[in-house]
Amino acid sequence: MSNVRHSLGLAVSLFALAAPAGAAAQETGRGVGASSQDAAALDAIVVTARRREESLLDVPVAVSAISAQALADAHVTDVTQIAQMTPQVLIAPASGGGGGTISIRGVGSSYLDPGIEQSVGVLVDNVSVGRGRFILASQFDLQQVEILKGPQALFFGKNSPAGVISITSASPTRDLQGMVRAGYEFEAEEKYVEAFISGPLNEQLGFRVAGKFSDINGWLKNVASGGANPIYPFPIPGPSTGDAPAYKSYSGRVTLRWEPSSDFDATFKFSGSHLSGNGDDYIEGFCAPPALALGQLSTTNLATGQQVFDPNSDCRLDQVRAQGALPPEVLNNWPGARDGRSYNKLTTYIGSLALNYRIEDVTLTSVSGYTKLKGRNLGFYDLTSFASVASYLVEDTRTWSQELRVSTDYDGPINLTAGGFFEDAKRYNTFQPILGFVGFDPANGNSAYTYENRWDNSGRTIAAFAQLRWSVLENLELAGGARYTNEKKKIAGGNLYSNLLGQAFGLLPVGQTIRESLSFSNWSPEITLTYKPADNLMTYVAYKTGFKSGGLSTPATISAIYGADPSLLAFNPEKSKGFEAGIKGETRDRRLRFDLVAYRYTFDDLQLTSFEPRLIAYFIKNAGRSRTSGVETSVAAQLTPELGVHASGSYNKAKYLSFPNAQCYLKIVGTPACTNGFYDRSGQPLPRAPKWTFNFGGDYEKTIGSSLKAGLNAEAVYTGKFFTDEQGAPDGFVDDFWRLNASARLADIDDRWELALIGRNLTNEYYQLVSNDKTFATPGEYGGFTLRPREVVVQGTFRF
């Protein structure tokens, strides 16, 4: 199998060298494909960045649009892969805490605390999904993805200080259509099938039903072996998983669209996704000096205070780890742990109902939304064969939302978009960790988890927004608007159980309950001046602000300190403000398109979470001030009817202006640099913020005879060096790298069938996006959440 994999990788690489490079993320069709009107012209791009359909050249926003064809050509199956198609967007899944992190231009929220929503808003079919765990849900049958960079206060559900990713699924078609697609990915041994059927039920009602199944064996090899265990008085039963992440996922969506007249339409979409796998997704241990000199990962026996090293482990990010399972003898009275091997179950639902009613030049819109997330996870965080730290995590989240909007399209100089937004959210989290063995509890016979707690959270958001657009001249528009937001959040939590070891951590006594509530209000204004010296050229300058409300932490350890002062759980709102200016244009024959944007934004009180691995305790921090400034540009050209090329680049400088009370990382604890557990990160770069990124590529398609066509595309992507550690440890550093993507396809001239060979990350760059001090480890040991290595896919598609 290894020879087959390398042969396929070499074949795709040769295709890449022979072909002009791949699809641009900013374009529709195949990225730089020809339009039906002119085979040598770029496709027109329509976006909804201001909640109405507009040409990309008319929208004064830094936005990238990725089409359905471009997503299919790149074998995109989840949100992390969507991010890899757009510069300065990084998304990493995580098995604990909030379930993942999303950042744009280096601004994002940590995964470590479930109480923090993402700074980058994510919408699926116009419904906000603020929980990081939605990252793992399968993406399929999509119409378009829009990525808006910078503060987005007005038009996307909840206010966003850093940007928005808006995912739109495909709608019903006017005539009966269907598709079946199947494929196999060699590196992770992934098998998948995707299908849809769409068409009219009658003259007024259309339908679309889509689904996807995926079965993946994983790419992380687990080399943990059985034997003596220095943590438990019972032998290691073997590895906690086989290859990981291994899981099966099932997803489906039903869409109905009713158009009884030209003045009214209603679209209902409901999707569900279920994932069941072997837990510890994407996480691997690695070391830096002095731990690197030891060559093995370590953990601590809390009962003796002894540091023990795992002979099966190494200190490298090499797709190999040693993670043992829990001995069956310690699983008494712990149903969540099942057989002591890691697992993950995630079920998500998203529903939306969009109504549009047009009265001449006025459109009234209603969007009703529903989300439901249910997650169960047994994860291991010591990353050794000894299974010294494991935790059973539960998250159940439910939201209802409603947005009402009115928009005018008068011939006169003044037009308006205004509306209101409401969201009601409820969530509960349960934590059951095991931090070592201290014998059997005589009260209930439990020998497993150290303690159990539960948090109940609720939130209510009410917002109103409006934007006035004034055509000062025929080619000059001034737009100004604001959003008012009021949010209320409540939390109640307590410990349900604690054994002797748990009590040693100073937990809140069992039976006591912490209750706290907070309220936040904010005005977020913005103003934009747009000038179009020609129909195919637009310039703009904008002042924008953004807001994310404060909240209440949901720490995995409920300390008695919080019981004495619940306000310690609170963290402040996150705010952004600044300027951007841009220019967009294309030639009149639409063979060349370009854009350039410069920006400078300041962020007050970025919401960060820090984790003290020796105490299993969270510290919620608001960084004082941060700033991002930079320049982004892209260009796409259709050189011939067969050949299109594109390139893009960005420079981004993102740093903390003031962060004097950051939590120390483990290597500086006890040194003069760390005072009372804190140090100064002012001037340090933000994590996941490479200064330089750029790519270039293209797409070539050629007709073969009268019935076939063949296509080649490839893209080279450069990412500059960046930090990944949540506490700022310089060891959590990723050097710059190149990724190469390429594909080859053969299809029927009418696209009734297609065979494709798709390669992603053919250079096999394997790196962490998130890292932090490894639990109970020596200084210099880290846990890192990674993305998939090289992917080589054979895919077949049949359409009817």
Q: Return the half-sphere exposure (C-beta side, CA atoms, 13 A cut-off) of residue 625.
A: 7
Handedness of CA 8, 10, 16, 22 (dihedral sign): positive
Domain, as residue range, for 481:
2-799
Count helices and strands (H / E) in the chain.
6, 45
pLDDT of residue 78: 79
Edge-to-edge strands of the sheet including 120-124?
Answer: 63-67, 142-149, 163-169, 120-124, 127-128
Pair of tokens at residue 82: 């969507």
Distance CA 530, CA 475 (A): 8
Residue linked to tokens 């809390």: 302
Encoded amino acid at 596, one letter: L
CA-based max dimension of the chain: 82
Question: What string of DSSP letters covers 259-307?
Answer: EEETTEEEEEEEEEEEEEE-S-TTEEEEE-TTHHHH-S-EEEETTTTEE
Residues of the chain with pLDDT under 70: 1-39, 95-98, 280-281, 610-619
Average pLDDT over the chain, rounded to whole?
88
* Number of Cβ within a 10 Å radius of residue 318: 12
Give the closest residue to 170 by CA, choosing from 77, 74, 52, 267: 267
pTM across the whole model = 0.90
Q: What is the pLDDT of residues 560-585, one digit of tens each?
A: 888 888 888 889 999 999 999 999 99
Task: Count Cβ atoms below 10 Å from residue 443 Cβ, excluding itself.
Answer: 8
Number of domains in the chain: 1
The partner residues of 285 in beta bridges, in order of sequence, read 783
Name the one residue in this structure whose structure tokens are 């209750």.
515
* Residue 36: predicted pLDDT: 38
Check if the beta carbon of residue 538 is closer than 8 Å to that of residue 530. Answer: yes
Q: Of 613, 518, 606, nearest to 568 (Cα)?
A: 518
Hey, is 446 helix, strand or coil? Answer: coil
Strand partners, 145: 66, 167
CB-based contacts of 84, cutoff 8 Å, min separation 6: 717, 739, 760, 787
| Listed residue (68, 375, 2) closest to 221, CA to CA | 2
CATH code assigned at 228: 2.40.170.20
71 conformational bin, left if phi > 0, alpha if psi -120 to 50, beta if neither: alpha
Three-class DSSP category at 133: helix
Contact 26, 67 (CB under 8 A): no
Q: What count of other Cβ atoms lies within 10 Å of the Cβ of residue 600?
A: 13
Q: How many CB atoms lie within 10 A of CB 240?
A: 28
DSSP for 679-724 reads E--TTPBPTT--SEEEEEEEEEEEEETTTEEEEEEEEEEEE--EE-
